[in-house]
Structure 1
Amino acid sequence: MSTASTPTSPPAPAAETTTPFDLDAYLARIGWRGAARADVATLRGVHAAHLRAIPFENLDALGGTAPSLEPAALVRKLLHERRGGYCYEQNTLLAMALERLGFAVTLLVGRVVVGADSLTRRPRTHAVLLVRVPGDPRPYLADVGYGDVAGLLEAVPLRADVEFRVGPRRHRLVTVEHEGPLELWVLRAWSGGGWVDQYAFTVEPFVPADLEVMNWHVATNPRSPFSWRLTVRRTTGTGHLALDERRLTETRDDGRVFTRELAGEEDVRAVLEREFAIAAPATTRLVR
């Protein structure tokens, strides 16, 4: 998500509104039929269910607008319409659900560092969550908005140098030296026979107003790939699907990878409908 600054200023954050969050509708949307209580098993289960049910997508940005982060808009789009969203939307929705369940949630922001030559070269543009479970002294890292096959399937304890395995995915958190006053954490994923840095973050709290600025920047900056390149992701029961413009890639849990090129706009819309359960806006041009 590394992008340059834009010549204009973002709009002021929208006035905060109080919107009843329908926990039952959320749990139905993600297909969660387990316990609705604030414990580790529920945190992990809800996290995994959310990830498999609600796809990652950037169709609003592709259509020229920054998606609304207002609670009512998120509930309408991600719960009641056939749509998904990217990290700001996904993790904001998860935070609302976890808070209703009784968890304490802190918004954090990290730098995506895949392929970067420095952990601090890129801007902070990726929203994640720090979750505290009642009675458990360990905070947990939760993130349903990364989108990539290297993302977390379940929330993991914020513990350094411990390998976490969930299904085929392997992760580690490490702390590294840097110039700031807070510990710099890095999430690593096992990929291609080695550990690959995914994103770096500190536990400095952020607030929704911070996300408003980042969201506008990522969605509307012409140098941001989210503003011009179709990006859709879905974690399935057998693997992971990724649609990048016209290229559809399926990565199965057994390690096999299948890729095919789609024919054009009509084919892309059909795949969004069939494979991702997304009804793309008719006015949004998907293939450029």
Structure 2
Amino acid sequence: MHPPAPDTASLDLDAYLARIGYRGALAATREVLDALHTAHAYSIPFENLDVLLGRPIRIDLAGVQEKLVNARRGGYCFEQNTLFVAALRRIGFKVTTLIARVRFHRSDIGPRTHMLSLIELPEGPFIADVGFGGPGLTQPIRLVEGESQAQAHDVVGLRREGDAWVLESRGREPWQDLYAFTLEEQFPVDYEVANHYTSTHPDSLFVSNVLAAISSPEARVTLRNRQLGVLRGGQVQWFELGDDELLDVLKTRFGLELPAGARLSCAGLNG
């Protein structure tokens, strides 16, 4: 059985590049990969508002392009990385899509619900991921064990656990596991299953919390319910938000506005 051919022809590459503010070269090189990854991370917020508004989360290319590019929204990993991978493939990069088991802020074994990708370059293989939120990657990292690799606001690294690779954050705190993955290729149907769990299962973090994150060269801003964190210069400031402040922060910090008459309600806000 042959895997399905990747869908890239329907991507409006010019519109995507305009969305992330990228005007550089288009070639399958390390420099272009780094620049595209950073531009995407600085331009498109991580967010889960549609889950809380009861809207289905489309992760086909047409759906994510309409939402993230045309409507200038954000999204979570399946949306973000589907769009990014399509752009990379159109430009000529060799990409393998992967899936990870998130460990960040978990003590139990969770399901495989995080999308990322492996990029083959003459310099070797690289991991790219524009959809983790929080302490995720702002630049691709080399697939090597034990090497500290700088990001905009963190240092990350990879270690091996048997057949798996574990991404660690080596920032302000003791090293934290972010997620674990293998190099087995994944296909759209695999992500459809994981996306269904992520967007509908009562145990999913995304159905009970308001989540958003965006990075810039100066700071990383994260939102979880009423807690707003701003990481700047290695120091985090935390702010407790009221209802009106929450809506204002979504608009001013993340560029997100609720539809007219819509109201956010979830256990994380109401508890």
Residue 87 of structure 1 deviates from its aligned partner by 0.3
Deviation larger for 227-236 or 45-54: 227-236
Question: Counterpart of 2:242?
Answer: 263
Alignment root-mean-square deviation, CA: 1.8
Identity of aligned residues (%): 39
Which of the residues 157, 160, 166 maps onto 2:145? 160
In structure 2, how many angstroms separate the alpha carbons of the residues matched to 1:241 and 1:206? 30
* Counterpart Cα distance in 2 of 1:59 and 1:37: 34
Residues 128-178 of structure 1: CA distance to partner in whole angstroms, max 9, x if unpaired?
A: 111123xx1611100000001x2111011111111111343211111113x
Contact 1:239/1:251, CA 8 A, preserved across alignment: yes
Cα distance in structure 2, aligned partners of 1:162 and 1:237: 23
Unaligned runs of 5+ in 2: 1-5
Counterpart Cα distance in 1 of 2:209 and 2:105 = 19
Question: Is 1:60 equivalent to 2:50 in the alignment?
Answer: yes
Contact 1:64 1:219 in 2 (8 A): no
Output the TM-score relative to the length of structure 1. Answer: 0.85
Counting only pairs closer than 5 Å after superposition, residues 13-92 of structure 1 correspond to structure 2 as: 20-92=10-82
Residue 284 and residue 128 in structure 1: after superposition, are their counterparts in 2 closer, same or farther (change >3 A)? farther
Shift of 1:18: 7.7
Superposed, 1:1-288 pairs within 5 Å as 20-117=10-107, 121-133=109-121, 136=122, 138-148=124-134, 150-177=135-162, 183-252=163-232, 254-264=233-243, 266-287=244-265, 288=270
Once the two structures are superposed, what CA deviation does each residue of 1:78-109 show, in whole Å capped at 9, x if it has no partner? 00113100000000000000001100111100
- 1:17 and 1:106 map into 2 onto residues whose CA distance is 13
TM-superposed CA distance for 1:193, in Å, is 4.0
Matching residue's letter, 1:260? F
The number of residue pairs the alignment matches comes to: 261
Letter aligned with residue 285 of structure 1: R
- TM-score norm. by structure 2 comes to 0.91
1:29 positional shift = 0.6
- C-alpha contact (below 8 Å) 1:139/1:158 kept by paired residues: yes
Whether the 8 Å contact between 2:8 and 2:86 is mirrored in structure 1 is no
Q: Aligned partners of 1:193 and 1:272: how far apart in 2?
A: 27
Q: Distance in 1 between matches of 2:47 and 2:23?
A: 25
- Please state whether the residue corresponding to 1:194 is helix, strand or coil: coil
User: Take 2:260 and 2:94, find their aligned partners in 1: how far apart are those partners?
Assistant: 39
Which structure carries more relative contact order (alpha carbon 8 Å, separation 6+)?
Answer: 1
Q: 8 Å contact 1:164–1:171 — kept in the other structure?
A: yes
Equivalent residues of 2:8, 2:90 under 8 A apart:
no
Q: Output the CA distance in 2 between the equivalents of 1:267 and 1:82.
A: 22
Deviation at 1:242, TM superposition (A): 1.0
Q: Is the 8 A contact 1:65 1:219 kept in 2?
A: no
**1:66 and 1:215 in contact (8 A); partners too:** no
Partner AA of 1:69 in structure 2: I
- For 2:40 and 2:215, the matched residues in 1 are separated by 10
